[in-house]
Amino acid sequence: MRSLLAAAVAVLLVAPPAQAAPVLDLDRATIPHLARRMDAGTLTAVDLTRAYLRRIDDVDGRVRSVLALDPTALDQAAASDRRRAKGHARGPLDGIPVLLKDNIDTRGLASTAGSRALHVPPREDAALVTRLRDAGAVILGKANLSEWANFRSTRSTSGWSAVGGQTNNPHVLDRNPCGSSSGSGAAVAASLAQVAVGTETDGSIVCPAGQNGVVGLKPTLGLVSGRGVVPLSTRQDTAGPMARHVVDAAILMSALGGGDYAAAGSATGNAVRGARIGVWRKAGASPEADRVVQRSVDALRGAGATVVDVELPYQDRIDAVEFPALTVEFKHDLERYLATRPGRFRTIDDLIAFNERDPVELSRFGQELFLAARDAPPTSDPEYREQRRTATTLARRSIDEVLAAQRLDVIMAPTNSPAWQTDYAAGDAYVLGTSTPAAAAGYPNVSVPAGFAGPLPIGMSFMAGHRADAKVLRFAAAFEQLTHARRAPRYLTTLP
């Protein structure tokens, strides 16, 4: 796969630019900055796309986050330049290179969910890809992911797929990028695309955002179409933006969801003055996260916010029913999706049998969750229906009741503890996570860089109620401006 990717980059870059490429600081550049340069004629979309292709060629051999490049990327960029030259630019995303998680159907590209079973490309774009093309985005390629959205084994390792191998955390390469949008998070952190699209069922956008030190928004359920996205559970799944800067995440969200979030993503630190913020500390799980939380609280209070400690109720009861409900939904929703795809796989039994025959699929860990899903009851089962009702209702109450009782604008919580060392024998080593309330509720949750434990990033999450996406983005942008916590990766081999 690495040699094929290198060959693809070489083909795309075979024709050199007619003049010296403009100087670009890809790590620090925002979409508004790039759009201004393209409007002024000091940068072209082709220049920008070439810069990212070269960056992939230079860096991704260590990170292993890009599965495939779109061979039409430079043609898409040239079409964007022609539109802009005629005064027909489609908006701020026109000409901006985007990577897509490889569970998102993309015409002309294999969309594998990380599995060697889905090698036949889909017939058409996912609905969200159509929206990105309509906005003028350059579809740069596909990002690796945790295979089947990390729902194949109870001992899986985030960032590994049979198609792409292991994605590494660019801050410390033997540390895990978290999943399942691991490739999207690591690629954005390493400046291999301006933005990327990830997907989340519970934590799969915000956790890789936190551990890779970038911004990730898990939107309100239903704002972004799930048509053409390999599902885990349509009752919780949503695609969402990942970026180095909140404003870029907001602009990408505008294209994905059809709203206008750019102003919220451009908020200044003054936006928190007079606000009431609840902090769900999850204290004691991670001393490093505890220190970042306290520094975050101090920064917000220093900017004029009132910050009060809160606890989110019902968490044990939600945890007891969410996973069994997801297991039922996975079989039902995946088989319904497989019926839309070309190829011979139609049931989870087909996939189980394929994995047992394939020399790579079970080489790192098993498929216990596939077996559990195979044996799960149908979605008409009364016990399942009560599990789903309980998970969703209690998750919503856990957020809504705290917001109301404390008269809060948002709730803040640590996204993650420092990234663990990738270890196939032990599997993932989660210590701290706060994604479940918003995930099971279908409410928005955005993670933004907040600090470090040595060289390892820690994020802070901002969550609120139904369709409060602009609000959480506004608080994330204000927090970003107050703390300036993000750093470019150092690509350390290991910790000292």
Distance CA 292, CA 388 (A): 34
Secondary structure class of 433 (helix, strand, coil): strand
Q: Is 142 an active-site residue? A: no
Q: Which of the residues 158, 180, 233, 417 is marked catalytic?
A: 180
Q: Please indicate whether residue 184 is annotated as part of the active site.
A: no
- Which residue of the set 101, 218, 331, 471 is catalytic? 101
Token look-up 């083909």 returns: 11
CA-CA-CA-CA torsion for 473, 476, 480, 485, nearest 10 degrees?
A: -130
Q: Going along 398-455, which residue ranges are E strands? A: 410-414, 445-453
Q: Which residues contact 315 (CB under 8 A, 6 or more apart)?
A: 398, 436, 437
If DSSP codes are grouped into helix, strand and coil, which group holds residue 100? strand
The whole-angstrom distance between residue 401's C-alpha and the CA centroid of its chain comes to: 28
Phi, psi dihedral angles at 279 (to 5 degrees): -115, 115
Count how many residues are written for the chain. 496
**Choice among 65, 146, 161, 204 that is catalytic:** 204
Rounded to whole angstroms, the Cα distance separating 5 from 474 reads 38
The answer to whether residue 218 is catalytic is no
As a dihedral over the C-alpha atoms of residue 297, residue 453, residue 456, residue 476, rounded to 10 degrees, the angle is: 0
What is the spatial distance between Cα 61 and Cα 64, in angstroms, rounded to a whole number?
Answer: 6
Q: At what angle do helices 45-63 and 182-189 cross, to 10 degrees?
A: 110
Is there a contact between 180 and 160 (Cβ–Cβ < 8 Å)? no
Answer whether 428's CB lies under 8 Å from 402's CB: no
Contacting residues for 229 by C-beta, under 8 A, at least 6 apart: 103, 104, 105, 126, 128, 199, 237, 239
Tokens 């606890």, residue located: 311
Other CB atoms closer than 10 Å to residue 340's CB: what's the count? 12
Residue (of 185, 188, 168, 182) closest to 27 by Cα position: 188
Residues 354 and 345 sit within 8 Å (Cβ to Cβ) = yes
Q: Which residues contact 63 (CB under 8 A, 6 or more apart)?
A: 167, 168, 170, 173, 186, 187, 190, 192, 491
Q: Cβ distance 479 to 300 under 8 Å?
A: yes
Q: Select from 91, 101, 191, 102 the least CA-distant residue to 133.
A: 91
Which of the residues are catalytic? 101, 180, 204
